[in-house]
């Protein structure tokens, strides 16, 4: 039981990050129908920038978080301005390929700046780990879970309660009608990249003290986050959360009870199974799909 709890908590922790990545996928997908395969790099950028500000520049903790978020948002903005905006093609395959190119360039730059070694920094708060039912839980785990919950609530409030958030949703439902009511659709697309980069980077900054961060972690994270998004039905926020946590827990159980080498296969197996059996996602809500006109 103790071991099970231990695996469960570590699964929830990585799963939270997968959920954040999945939500990042959804934000951009909803705005543009593009699958942004550079989503994993946003997470890496979050972790490495946090290290850079904390350890290399010796900036105080809160300032380091602020600067990391700001830089990540800026990177999302630059990505949109330099690649998505100028292309303006309707060919989604081309756009998706472009995001792969961007991810390769980002990885190159990250390696150039940070090298190949893994990075880490101290947990957000000092203190002894908590013991729950015999399982030893590091305090940073609660930070990850709390930050993920805050991101989920924040995004929910943003998309449902603010005018800009509602306008972004409107663009995803019907860009023509959105521009007719005066919503600048291309600016909303830019916002979606900024938001998505920030969500990913926050996840990266939170998880790095637990699982370390290196320049080339992006693609694997992207695959898992994508799997989370697909499990929940692409484009649906709540789905990505359930998907991410599920993958995290299954991975952790597989690594614990079977073999740690099989861990990364879990997401791929789930992905294949979904693509074969339930292309609309595990939580495919058909009325909503119909309303959106898919």
| Contacting residues toward other proteins, per CB under 8 A | 163, 166-167, 169-170, 173-174, 176-185, 288, 290-293
55: burial class by Cβ within 10 Å (0-12, 13-18, 19+)? middle
Half-sphere exposure in the Cβ direction for 77 (13 Å, CA): 8
Please state whether beta strands 135-137 and 130-132 pair in parallel, antiparallel, or not at all (unpaired).
Answer: antiparallel
Give the shortest CB-238-to-other proteins separation in angstroms. 14
The smaller minimum CB distance to other proteins, of residues 107 and 236, is found at 236
- The CA dihedral of 91, 92, 93, 94, to the nearest 10 degrees, is 60
Q: How far is the CB of 88 from other proteins (least distance, A)?
A: 14
Q: Is 123 exposed, middle or buried (0-12, 13-18, 19+ CB in 10 A)?
A: middle
Q: Decide whether 177 or 273 has the Cβ nearer to other proteins.
A: 177
Nearer to other proteins, 83 or 179 (CB): 179
CB atoms within 10 A of CB 57: 11
Nearer to other proteins, 157 or 177 (CB): 177
d(CA 260, CA 275): 25
Considering the complex, state which of residue 261 and residue 293 has its C-beta at the smaller distance from other proteins: 293
Taking the complex as a whole, the smallest distance from the CB of residue 176 to other proteins amounts, in Å, to 6
Least separation in angstroms between residue 291's CB and other proteins is: 4
- Which CB atom, from 53 or from 191, has the smaller least distance to other proteins? 191
Q: E strands of 112-251, at which residues? A: 130-132, 135-137
**Distance of closest approach, residue 26 Cβ to other proteins, in angstroms:** 14
Count of beta carbons in the 10 Å neighbourhood of residue 186: 14
Whole-number minimum distance, CB 290 to other proteins, in Å? Answer: 8
């Amino acid at each position: 039981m103790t071991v099970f709890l231990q695996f469960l908590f570590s699964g929830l922790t990585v799963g939270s990050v997968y959920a954040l990545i999945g939500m990042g996928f959804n934000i951009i997908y909803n705005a543009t129908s593009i699958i942004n395969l550079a989503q994993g790099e946003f997470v890496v950028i979050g972790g490495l920038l946090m290290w850079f500000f904390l350890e290399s520049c010796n900036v105080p903790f809160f300032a380091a978080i602020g600067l990391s978020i700001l830089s990540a948002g800026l990177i999302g903005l630059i990505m949109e301005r330099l690649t998505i905006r100028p292309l303006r093609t309707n060919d989604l395959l081309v756009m998706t390929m472009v995001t792969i190119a961007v991810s390769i360039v980002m990885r190159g730059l990250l390696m150039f700046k940070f090298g190949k070694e893994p990075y880490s920094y101290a947990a957000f708060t000092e203190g002894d780990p908590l013991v729950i039912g015999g399982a030893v839980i590091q305090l940073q785990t609660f930070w990850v879970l709390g930050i993920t919950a805050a991101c989920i609530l924040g995004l929910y409030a943003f998309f449902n309660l603010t005018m800009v958030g509602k306008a972004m949703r409107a663009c995803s439902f019907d860009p023509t009608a959105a521009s007719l009511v005066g919503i600048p659709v291309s600016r909303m697309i830019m916002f979606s990249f900024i938001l998505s980069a920030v969500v990913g980077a926050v996840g990266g900054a939170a998880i790095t003290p637990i699982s370390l961060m290196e320049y080339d972690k992006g693609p694997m994270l992207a695959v898992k986050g994508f799997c989370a998004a697909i499990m929940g039905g692409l484009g649906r926020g709540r789905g990505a959360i359930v998907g991410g946590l599920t993958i995290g827990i299954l991975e952790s159980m597989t690594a614990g009870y079977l073999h740690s080498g099989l861990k990364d296969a879990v997401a791929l197996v789930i992905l294949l199974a979904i693509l074969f059996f339930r292309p609309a996602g595990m939580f495919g809500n058909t009325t909503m799909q119909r309303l959106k006109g898919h």
